[in-house]
Amino acid sequence: MTSVVLSIGSNLGDRMAHLQSVVDGLGDAVTAVSPVYETDAWGGVEQGAFLNAVVLADDSSRDPHGWLRRAHELEDAAQRVREQRWGPRTLDVDLVVVHDGDQQVSVHDDVLTLPHPYAHVRAFVLVPWLAVDPEATLTVAGRPVGVESLLAAVDPGERAGVRRTEHALRFGAAT
């Protein structure tokens, strides 16, 4: 069985509706959803704040590239425009890690790098991931590291910029 950790974010339009579209689009594959956080934009481009969350999902029929295709389909459905690197977007769906059973999958090709090469330094990924999976690990430099340890190493100012909201994404019986 393959499972995925997805980092989702939106800072254009109805941000909550865009995040909810991911959960709805994955349907019964969703196993857990983090709280929703508001975060300042990352990457140096002037823009509005993001809403971010992490979604955990399982689907034995998807390999890493299948998860990537599904992520792009969800972004396309939200009319994501890719004009500026790290620019504003209706929806961003990033694969953080894919597991095949208990093993994190490593992929390095022209279209996909797993684990996500920047996840370990992004508080807006680590904070929601830790909230939904306190035992999570991420392979960094070839070895598994606890997400809690990775988050502790992130600049305190960046950690403080990840603010939990009252918003909640619905999944499973709650939809």
Range of the domain at 156: 2-167
Q: How many CB atoms lie within 10 A of CB 75?
A: 22
From CA 89, how far away is CA 79, in angstroms rounded?
9
Mean pLDDT per 10-residue segment, the chain (175 residues): 92 94 97 96 76 97 95 85 67 94 91 93 96 96 95 95 96 66
pLDDT value of residue 35: 98
CATH number at residue 7: 3.30.70.560
Cα 58 to Cα 30: distance, rounded to the nearest angstrom: 7
Count: domains in the chain: 1
Specify if 173 maps to a domain: no
Residue 172 lies inside a defined structural domain of this protein: no
Q: Which residues pair with 92 in a beta bridge?
A: 9
Is 35 inside any structural domain? Answer: yes
Give domain status of residue 174, yes or no: no
The answer to whether 151 and 127 are in contact (CB under 8 A) is: yes
Q: How far apart are CA 79 and CA 40, in angstroms?
A: 22
| Residue 80 domain flag | yes
In a domain, 175, yes or no: no
Would you state the pLDDT for residue 87?
65
Write down the pLDDT at residue 175.
45
Report CA 97 to chain centroid distance, whole Å: 9
Residue 103 domain-assigned? yes
Burial 11-44 (b: 16+ CB within 10 A, else e): bbeebbebbbbbbebbeebbbebbbbbbbbbbee
Predicted pLDDT at 89: 83
Three-state SS letters, 43-105: CCCCCCCEEEEEEEEECCCCCHHHHHHHHHHHHHHCCCCCCCCCCCCCCEEEEEEEEECCEEC
What's the pTM value of the predicted model, to 2 decimals?
Answer: 0.92
